[in-house]
Chains A and B, each alone.
Chain A
Amino acid sequence: MKARTVALVCVAAVVTTLPAGRSRAQEQLPTFRSMANAVAVDVSVRDNKRKSVTGLRAGDFEIYDNGVKQDVAEVSYGRLPIDVTVALDISFSVTGILLERLRSGVVTLMRDLGREDRLRLMLFNSRVARVVDFTTDEKKVEAAIKGAIAGGGTGLFDSISVALVSTAPRDRRQLVVVFTDGNDSTSTTQPATLTNVALRTRAAVAMVLPGNGPIVVTGSTSAQQVFTSLKMSLTPQPYDGFFQSLASATGGSVVRTNASSDLNAVFKQILEEFRSAYVLLYDVKGVERGYHELEVKVKRDGVNVTARRGYWN
């Protein structure tokens, strides 16, 4: 970015005016005042029972940009529309029943979206392909997943990178949900590069991965399958630490599942957590260009605050 006057960098952008001809619901979207160096940050505030804490105002937050305290100009809660990009791993390892559960999970996720929210579907193995662009048409998404044929290697890092860099409207919050077995066999993007890409883009990344928790085997299954599940569960995934770090850097999350997990509930949980976040807007002052480390505090006891760790400007 050359001029600080357009410094929206990788965080949710400022919307000064809305285009003409929008629906009534859209007209009710929050608007932020025009600011020279505006930065918007998603902040999730939860109590010890992971219940969202609502009713906070600008005065309840403290935000530090590279250690310099900033003035929070405006706060919005759960009102900005959301764009969800679902990236599904359809490599060799994701087949059959699992693919069917995924279809069901994504369709449920669509039903939980708000009227102004949209969903984009990307499928990947070695190749990444956007099969449905931002839409509210549930049938289109369902048909696309049904038609998916699993096979090939896994270009997980490449796919996340493409999803993050993809153009997205600046007046909407961005969430990328990645469902994968966590392996990568064909990416050209290195983890370090992917982290840098994530810090230069806006979306929060939520990873849905096979879990490390206790094994629950449902239905009839052979001893061989049980053993395989167990082995898979107990073997540390090579990129475990990286996924955690990527999610935290973007203000996202990592959710682990197992054979008995209800994927519908998992996707719902991710969406709810993302939706129930505050968007803080401030006009950045007193810091140089480059990487900005963020710290967000809430002036209340017993709450957990989650926000992206920083951004590039």
Chain B
Amino acid sequence: MIARGPLLAGLTIASAVAVLAGQEPPQQTFRAGTDVVMVDVSVRDGRQIVTGLTAADFVLTDNGVRQQIENVEATSVPIDVTLVVDVSGNPGMAWRTRANASAIEASVQREVSQVAAILRPVDRLRLVTIDRYIRQVWPFLPVNALPPVRGLEMDGLAATYDALAAVLLHPVAPARRHVVIARTKGVDTISAVRSGALGAIAQRSDARFHLVLMEEALTTDEEARRWQCVQLGQCWPTVRSWIPHKTLMIDSGEFHKITTDGFLIKAGVEATGGAWHQAAGLSVPSLTGTFKATFDDFRSSYMLRYTPQGVARGGWHTIKVTVPERRSLEVNARRGYGVEEVIPPAPAPVPAPNARLRALPEFIAAFERGALGQVQDSLRRHAAPLLLLKDFEEEGNPWPGSPRLEAAFVLALCEPLVYSTRSADRDGALAFLNRYWPLVRHPLDPDDFEAEWAYAALTMLQGVIRPAMTEPFIERVRERFPNDPRFLLLRAINSEQRSLPGTRLTIYEAPGAPRPEIAEVVRQQYLEAIQFPAIAAEARIRLSWMLYRAGHPEEARSQLMQAGASPLPDVELRYLQQLFLGHVMAATGDQDQSIAAYRAAAAILPAAQSPRVGLMNALLLRGERAEAESLAEFIQTTRAQSQDPWWTYWQGQYRMHPQAMQRLLEMAK
């Protein structure tokens, strides 16, 4: 997760990402601009779950200060379940024998299926195993899409604490709840994380954490070892040559008392609102049994939301939830949350409107003021934009209440990097975009802001003319927005960029002619785009140029005529249509029409060079030397510096990037 700066509260604070992604989510409402705390609460009357409570029934204190509960919801929030299964050191038998992998996999498969059967379609399940390495067998997946359990690594040393810490640190998707159910022998041999740290991590985790101890396996293990040692004189497992050092959560004696390590971890577990599950009398906890009870709790639990008032923002917050009118009820909620203490940086001096910006705070201040041009110009001239990006990533969102502004700023920061000639800059920016992209996604359904952000990002990437680099991003966006024609046009242009040889842009004849197999793909994609009126004209004009390059000037002319059949409001498209018509008419031998088209293009953009050069050549070849010489003189002496859209033709929709950024800023406001 990208560092969220002031919102790195862990626990259940609605992050900036949630606000970013869900301005108007259909199921939940997240407050923008301030920290919102969400607390899961389950209420039981003996063994009976109590339902039907409202906000007025609860009293919630944060560090002893009573808080206003803004909202209570029940059952609607989807759940992410992480199952953690300890398969280290032969989980099924004593460790002196080799593990039976297929039997263990079958056993894990059974348990997974049982858990999956309880979950709802909106819930997701993730499977993680503990061994020498922590292995995520699969990420969060809907229950109807779970692959079979295969290829588990097992029978090694136990990285139990590391695995649990990694699982608990996993960021929770906005608007979902996370429950971790881990089953372990409680033995750890090689972790870097110590028990105290694991307890502290649990306390600050967003997940509700349940730990199930495999006492039977531990006992079997221990008895086998003793028997070997006493009866056979072999004080190490028969197939191992040594016994590793280990720490234990419960001791290996008859009563499995909790060790000091265990107490530290147990405190963390209970702080999450979860529980430590050990045998009690004849009742031995199982993974599925524990999950079933937990899920019942979850399914019928309440989610209380409040905005902390009257308490210091940073530091540890102890939460207490009660139902005062019915004191006999058992209320189970997490016991607190931590908020990273943030000392706000001194405000950056406001840079002068035309000053060249250098440090990140200056860029932030200028961007906040709406000086996009100044930010972009300074970034393009910055000596080390990658360092700026790294600073930004480390320091987190400068506008915690405006994640959309942050999202727009991210694109401005990345632009000079993706256009850099240094591969390290490009790679750094792309890796960052890959990490950041999911944060802009609406958690439930794609929304307008995500579409605009994706469009701005893709128009930026297309201008680099590295189609292989851009393609995965386009495909990802097309999956999210299959009905948005803009992405169809972006895809067709990207494919056409692939027809250009290497990184060299050669335009004409053999070096530049598209390869037939690519040309056909491009043609089909443009034809698909032509079906959408909003982009049909540009698709036709681009298709015509591809046809011309491929040696089909007659077809190109037909497409150009159709593109110009209706008025083109976009001046650049009007210009390109006439310029291409000039070339195409010349190729079909119609000199008069070619000259007329060049003149029309020059009239549309008087300072553009290309139609004047085309006209100069055409006039000279027709024998009108005087006018050709006059044009040559004009071309080389004019001081007009306006951009010629032909020069940026191969950068595709990059021409739309400035407008896309402006729209994004408007939406961010």
Interface SS, A side: loop
Q: Is there an interface contact between A188 and B614, defined as CB atoms closer than 8 Å? A: yes
For A179-218 the 0/1 string (1 means CB < 8 A from B) is 0000111111111110011001100000000000000000
Q: What interface size band does chain A fall in? A: 20 to 34
Q: How far is the CA of A203 from the CA of B628 in the complex (A)?
A: 16
Contacts of A162 in B (CB 8 A): 613, 616, 632, 635-636
Of the candidates B511, B611, B623, B629, the one whose C-beta lies within 8 Å of that of A165 is B629
B474-509 contacts to A (CB < 8 Å): 501, 504-509
A102-141 contacts to B (CB < 8 Å): 122, 126-130
A158 at the interface (CB under 8 A from B): yes
Q: Is there an interface contact between B616 and A161, defined as CB atoms closer than 8 Å? A: yes
Q: Is there an interface contact between B609 and A155, defined as CB atoms closer than 8 Å? A: yes
Q: What interface size band does chain B fall in? A: 35 or more
Interface centre among A1, A167, A183 (most CB of B within 10 A): A167
Q: Is there an interface contact between B632 and A190, defined as CB atoms closer than 8 Å? A: no
Q: How far is the CA of A189 from the CA of B610 in the complex (A)?
A: 8
* A158-B613 contact in complex given A186-B646, A188-B583, C-beta closer than 8 Å: yes
Interface SS, B side: helix
Contacts of A192 in B (CB 8 A): 509
Of the candidates B506, B586, B625, the one whose C-beta lies within 8 Å of that of A183 is B506
Of the candidates A129, A167, A187, A197, the one whose C-beta lies within 8 Å of that of B620 is A197
B447 at the interface (CB under 8 A from A): no
B644 at the interface (CB under 8 A from A): yes
Contacts of A165 in B (CB 8 A): 616-617, 620, 628-629, 631-632
B215-272 contacts to A (CB < 8 Å): none
Q: How far is the CA of A192 from the CA of B551 in the complex (A)?
A: 14
Q: How far is the CA of A129 from the CA of B609 in the complex (A)?
A: 11
* A187-B507 contact in complex given A153-B647, A166-B636, A196-B621, C-beta closer than 8 Å: yes
B570 at the interface (CB under 8 A from A): no
A147 at the interface (CB under 8 A from B): no
Of the candidates B625, B641, B647, the one whose C-beta lies within 8 Å of that of A186 is B647
Q: How far is the CA of A189 from the CA of B646 in the complex (A)?
A: 12
Q: Nearest residue in A to B504 (C-beta to C-beta)?
A: A183
For B584-624 the 0/1 string (1 means CB < 8 A from A) is 00100000000000000000000001110110110011010
Q: Nearest residue in B to A194 (C-beta to C-beta)?
A: B617
Contacts of A185 in B (CB 8 A): 505-507, 650
Contacts between the two chains (Cβ within 8 Å), count: 96
Q: How far is the CA of A136 from the CA of B343 in the complex (A)?
A: 67
- Shortest CB distance B595–A (Å): 13
B633 at the interface (CB under 8 A from A): yes
B13-29 contacts to A (CB < 8 Å): none
For B433-473 the 0/1 string (1 means CB < 8 A from A) is 00000000000000000000000000000000000000000
Q: Is there an interface contact between B620 and A200, defined as CB atoms closer than 8 Å? A: yes
Q: Nearest residue in A to B502 (C-beta to C-beta)?
A: A235
* A1-B506 contact in complex given A126-B647, A165-B628, C-beta closer than 8 Å: no
Q: Nearest residue in A to B598 (C-beta to C-beta)?
A: A188
Q: Is there an interface contact between A128 and B614, defined as CB atoms closer than 8 Å? A: no
A238 at the interface (CB under 8 A from B): yes
Q: Is there an interface contact between A166 and B511, defined as CB atoms closer than 8 Å? A: no
Q: Is there an interface contact between A188 and B633, defined as CB atoms closer than 8 Å? A: no
Contacts of B616 in A (CB 8 A): 161-162, 165
Q: Is there an interface contact between A193 and B621, defined as CB atoms closer than 8 Å? A: yes
B581 at the interface (CB under 8 A from A): no
Contacts of A167 in B (CB 8 A): 629, 632-633
Q: How far is the CA of A188 from the CA of B629 in the complex (A)?
A: 17
Contacts of B633 in A (CB 8 A): 166-167
Contacts of B328 in A (CB 8 A): none
Q: How far is the CA of A152 from the CA of B647 in the complex (A)?
A: 9
Q: Is there an interface contact between B508 and A190, defined as CB atoms closer than 8 Å? A: yes
Contacts of B636 in A (CB 8 A): 122, 128-130, 162, 166
Q: How far is the CA of A187 from the CA of B635 in the complex (A)?
A: 14
* A126-B644 contact in complex given A158-B609, A238-B511, C-beta closer than 8 Å: yes
B637 at the interface (CB under 8 A from A): yes
Sample (6) of A-B pairs whose CB atoms are under 8 Å apart: A155-B609, A161-B613, A165-B616, A165-B628, A193-B621, A200-B620
Given contacts A1-B623, A200-B620, A238-B510, 9 further A-B contacts (CB under 8 A): A155-B647, A167-B629, A184-B507, A186-B647, A187-B613, A189-B614, A190-B509, A238-B512, A239-B511
Top 10 nearest A-B pairs by Cβ distance?
A238-B511, A130-B636, A188-B610, A165-B632, A185-B505, A186-B647, A126-B647, A158-B613, A166-B632, A167-B629
